[in-house]
Chain A
């Protein structure tokens, strides 16, 4: 979050939720890739994908955010994978979303501090914003993804 109070956010939809992640944390946006299951990993982990020779663990967005399973999802070829930096850029994780909505630059004041929203764990919410009259939650991606990786 640089440029004196200007925040750049990547907006995406997971189920009925519109979420945002700090755009500086977004490494890349890719189509959905074929995953390899990791036995023993917690349910939100979709598996491993190959991103140009690097192996990246992918987290299923709807499972991590406890959203209903997307109807069109037959496990493959649905949605988008967003590569996010976790833990200060030391690790990169994939996060599947239904679709990427927008890339926004807005002033930090336009966001409300964390507040409770129905249907989402408040500890995962960093702030709440509004776009075209619709609410979106700015996710604390570290809080969401670090526990899944911690081993």
Chain B
């Protein structure tokens, strides 16, 4: 059977199990006498082994098998974790991950696993009840890994072992497997292990079930959800036309139908958006290990906390967040947190704290990376910024906003620059670029001696947003409500000029104005005397966007387009209006 089409699925599932391994190892490291993590580790590795065997990845299977053998001995012998043992298991986990990644791209042969295999076997032989190098104990004989084509070995455990094999030609294998597991659970069996490992589901079923007892999920490729989203977008457009038609015809039958279609398509849209939502832990879960390794490497003591793991974001956004967050966490551990001795001297706890948290805020999600380290040295950053001409040479302070702008200058801060903040800027420009592309923003707070906090604000979904439709001349533009604070009328508020820019004073604050007509080069007609001003707000920054008129609010489906060379960098995409004609979406980040 050609299994190549399942490689992606294998990779995704293996990654999940390997991520779980990291969490379990970290947990074990914290509580070395606890035994629960070992059982979990054993099951995770066992599952990877089973899947690898099915896929015919002999080396992955072999490596997983040896790791599993060691874990089995640890589990049975109730050994507490030692530093040496943990290092070995971390290494083995990483080697297994590497093996998985190479195998799925057909580069299994390049794997170098002899060393880790030898170390695992060596540890297993010392751990074995007999203690001798040739009696590794039980069935765990490292020299005979299972052949890839043989059925997966099942763990001997108390109770009765039932092995169910579904023939390749059996229809609805996924469903059948689920029934078997449910039955077994009804009889009191540990269903958790059953599907992922014991029962071997031929990967012919439409969706592969995730570890037996858990909720019923299937994996869907993101592009399918994108496809559905596009279709629903068209349906919404068609609905708009139907509504128009109904209004023209004044036929109650068409009216009823139009209302019904409206409701159905709204519900459908909501369902599809919900299907795209993914909890942030899917990305956050890889960070505890990263922070731990980095802290170890730098000889620092760092407690890492994650909050709001269950907050959901559109899958497409979440997928892009891993790198920016990694940059910020690295900076926090490397440059924020001081060494223990320095912290003691400053009267702080020797252990630094880094917190990664997610929280819902109106129509957006805020993700913050906070450290209680030394903070950014403003005086030195200001000096440097003046030298580079980023700020006015007479400036004597840097606002949070200016600080961020200075840090985000590409290549601003390299090793030789500001000593106490060395390298702080590395990656911030990368983070900002990525965030802008996602329609998000970044804010910084930093107090000398107390720490630094970066807050990323992101729309919950990229696929669909509520927007104000604004008119400029005969053109229409959509402005997502995510960052709209309020709207006021030109002429009803006081205007002033600040730093050469026209501005209004709103709630005792100066809000600079952007005339959309001028910005977009619209010359037709004259602007109305009382133009509406749409006030955008992102963190501390505010801008008033002057438009000709507001045509209302509506849900818009966000679509990408191939922007020609020279396109003004103020659009985040485009949408299709009810009349079928496209309208560009203004990017709040680009206007601020």
Contact = CB atoms under 8 A, between A and B. Distances in A.
B2 to A, nearest CB: 26
Nearest to A48: B582
B540 interface: no
Interface stretch (B32-40, B130-138, B564-572): B564-572
Contact of B564 (A34, A38, A53): A38
Contacts of A49: 582
A151 to B, nearest CB: 4
Given A37-B475, A39-B520, A148 B561 contact: no
B581 A42 contact: no
Nearest to B229: A53
Interface stretch (B230-238, B281-289, B298-306, B312-320): B230-238
A41 B567 contact: yes
Interface string B558-590: 011111111110010010100011111000000
B583 A39 contact: no
Contacts of A50: 237, 576, 580-582
A114 to B, nearest CB: 25
B521 interface: yes
B583 A150 contact: no
B25 to A, nearest CB: 43
Contacts of A115: none
Interface string B499-524: 00000000000000000000111000
A56 B559 CA distance: 11
A42 B566 contact: yes
Interface in A63-86: none
A40 B566 contact: yes
A109 to B, nearest CB: 36
Contacts of B560: 55
A39 B234 contact: no
A41 B563 CA distance: 8
Given A48-B574, A50-B581, A50-B582, A57 B566 contact: no
A47 B582 CA distance: 9
A46 to B, nearest CB: 10
B566 to A, nearest CB: 5
Contacts of A1: none
A55 B582 contact: yes
Which secondary structure characterizes the binding site on chain B?
mixed
A149 B564 CA distance: 4
Interface in A6-64: 34, 36-42, 45, 47-50, 52-57
B567 A39 contact: yes
Given A48-B561, A53-B234, A36 B568 contact: no
Contacts of B576: 50, 53, 55
Contact of A45 (B230, B521, B564, B580): B564
Interface in B209-237: 230-231, 233-234, 237
Nearest to A150: B565
A39 B584 CA distance: 10
Given A150-B565, A151-B564, A39 B521 contact: yes
A61 to B, nearest CB: 15
Contacts of B564: 38, 41-42, 45, 57, 148-149, 151
Contact of A36 (B231, B234, B237, B574): B574
Contact of A38 (B233, B559, B563, B581): B563
A55 B576 CA distance: 8
A86 B233 CA distance: 25
Contact of B233 (A36, A41, A53, A93): A53
A50 B234 CA distance: 10
A140 to B, nearest CB: 18
A63 B563 CA distance: 18
A113 interface: no
B582 to A, nearest CB: 4
Nearest to B519: A39
B565 A151 contact: yes
B230 A39 contact: no
Q: Name the residue among A40, A47, A57, A150 with the largest chain B CB count within 10 angstroms.
A: A40
A50 to B, nearest CB: 5
Most chain B CB inside 10 Å of its own CB: which residue of A34, A53, A149: A53
A147 interface: yes
A36 B566 contact: no
Contacts of A149: 562, 564-565
A93 B561 CA distance: 11
A50 B254 CA distance: 26
Contacts of A55: 559-561, 574, 576, 582
A84 to B, nearest CB: 13
A13 B376 CA distance: 64
Nearest to B561: A55
Nearest to A145: B564
A60 to B, nearest CB: 12
Which of B563, B574, B582, B584 counts the most A-chain CB atoms under 10 A from its CB? B582
B231 A42 contact: no
A55 to B, nearest CB: 4
A48 B583 CA distance: 8
28 contacts: A34-B580, A36-B581, A38-B564, A38-B571, A39-B568, A40-B521, A40-B568, A41-B567, A42-B566, A48-B582, A48-B584, A49-B582, A50-B237, A52-B234, A53-B230, A53-B231, A53-B576, A54-B559, A55-B574, A55-B582, A56-B561, A57-B562, A57-B563, A148-B564, A149-B562, A149-B564, A151-B565, A151-B566
Given A39-B521, A48-B582, A91-B562, 11 more contacts: A36-B582, A39-B567, A48-B584, A50-B580, A50-B582, A54-B559, A55-B576, A57-B564, A148-B565, A151-B565, A151-B567
